[in-house]
Structure formats: structure tokens, C-alpha cells
Amino acid sequence: MPHSKISLGVNIDHVATLRQSRYRAATGGNLQAEPDPLLAALAAELAGAAGITVHLREDRRHIQDQDFVRLREGIATKLNLEMGNSPEILQIAFKVGPEDVCLVPENRQEITTEGGLDCAGQYVSLLPTVNSLRSAGIRVSMFIAPDLKQVETAARLGAEFVELHTGAFVNALGLAADEEWDRLVQAAHAAHENGLGVNAGHGINYSNIRKIVQLPHLRELNIGHSIISRSILVGMEKAVREMLELIHE
């Protein structure tokens, strides 16, 4: 049963991707350089988004430091920073103060975040990062594959949430899709039992959303590519509203 409490975080990285494709040297502070991620964020909020998500990558291929600061100052909902476990980005997170940080694996060659974070394999390096974020009053989520070992390690690390990587499910066909769905359901139950809030994201679109909202214990979805793509055709507010209707239908 889809439930009405699922909130939507809109990932606006691709707005900056479009801007950077033309104005590579531009910062988010230059309103001549369009499109402006802050304006996109405000439109998403008007339409009912519960939060704005950005990934400040080490290579700054889309969102720039100045975008992150302007979003912090300009949005009225909550700011969720996706970041790799990098000391440089961590310092920026402390300075700017997003409500949430979602720790993700980051690989310079990838087009988008490819897999989940290996919490188990990187426990030792992740622990001080999680501790320092929590001490700064920032809530921590771990972007992980729907794998029980990863869920348990995220809980041991002291994270508040996991964001379950839905990519394998949305890309699978037939029997493989059923298996991936079972993995997501089991991971969601395990996360809940371990006291973790359950978020989900990656590859979610206007078709697969009907299935995704059936994930147990789901509290927040983070959706980027499909909403930004639709917004080019129908506008950001309409694109967000249409997704929210499907989430709450």
C-alpha cells in the first residue's frame, strides 16, 4: 500500500549540469549563467517537494560551492547533501550546514553514482565522518545496495537513515526484477528493525514509481534525472506535482 507520508526530495544536479555545459567557468552566483539551480529548487518547493538534494562532487562537474551556499540561504525546506567521504567536502558541509548528508561512493569516471557505499569494507574510514557529522547536528544517511550486511553496518556506524539504491531493481527485467525487489523489501525491513529510517533513490521515474512506493517503511524518495528531464518539457512545478500525485495516489 502506498502511503501518504512518503516525502519527495528533488535532486537538482542536472540543472547545474546544463548550466556547466555552456558556462563551465560560471559559479552559481552569476545569475546570467542559466539555468539557475536555486530557481529550480524554489519551483520544486512551490510544487510540494519536501527537500532539495545536491551532490557536491570533488570534480565540481555540476553543482558548485556557490550553488550550495545559495541553496542553503534560499530554500525553505531542507537541504540534503550527497557527498563522497572526502575531507574537503566534509569541511564545506560543516561550514554550510545542510540538514542531512547522504554518504555515497564517488568515482571520477562514473556518469552518475553507480553502486552503493561499501559501509562494511570502509567502516574504519567512515566512522569518524559519521561521528563528526552527527556531532555537528547533521543527520546522516548511507546510500547502500539493498544488502543485509550493509544495512547492519550502517546501523553500527550510527547513521540515522539508509537510502536504498533502487538502480538494480529498476534496471532488471522479469525474474531478476522480482529478485531485486525482494532484496529491497528485505533490506527495508532490516533497516527498520535496526532503527534506521528508510529512504530510496536512483533511477526512479514516472513509471516505476508505482512499485517503488510499495516499499515497506519508506519515508523519503530522492529523484533527479526523470523529474529534471520532464521539467524541460512541462516546467519544474508541473513535473514535481505529477510525481507527487503518483507517490500519493
102 binds ligand PXP per the rule CB under 6 A = yes
CA distances from 77 to 45, 52, 140, 145, 154 (A): 7, 7, 17, 27, 26
104 binds ligand PXP per the rule CB under 6 A = yes
223 binds ligand PXP per the rule CB under 6 A = yes
Q: Are 35 and 44 in contact (CB under 8 A)?
A: no
Strand partners, 162: 142, 198
Selected binder of ligand PXP within 191, 203, 213, 231 (CB under 6 A): 203
Q: Is 29 left (phi over 0), alpha (psi -120 to 50) or beta?
A: alpha
Q: Are 36 and 228 in contact (CB under 8 A)?
A: no
Separation of alpha carbons 85 and 195, rounded Å = 23
CB of 14 to ligand PXP, least distance (A): 7
Selected binder of ligand PXP within 16, 63, 64, 143 (CB under 6 A): 143
- From residue 13 to residue 52, the character string flagging contacts with ligand PXP as x (rule: CB under 6 A) and all else as - is x---------------------------------------
Selected binder of ligand PXP within 126, 130, 164, 204 (CB under 6 A): 204
CB of 145 to ligand PXP, least distance (A): 12
> At 216, is the secondary structure helix, strand, or coil?
coil
129 binds ligand PXP per the rule CB under 6 A = no
Question: Catalytic residue positions?
Answer: 55, 82, 202
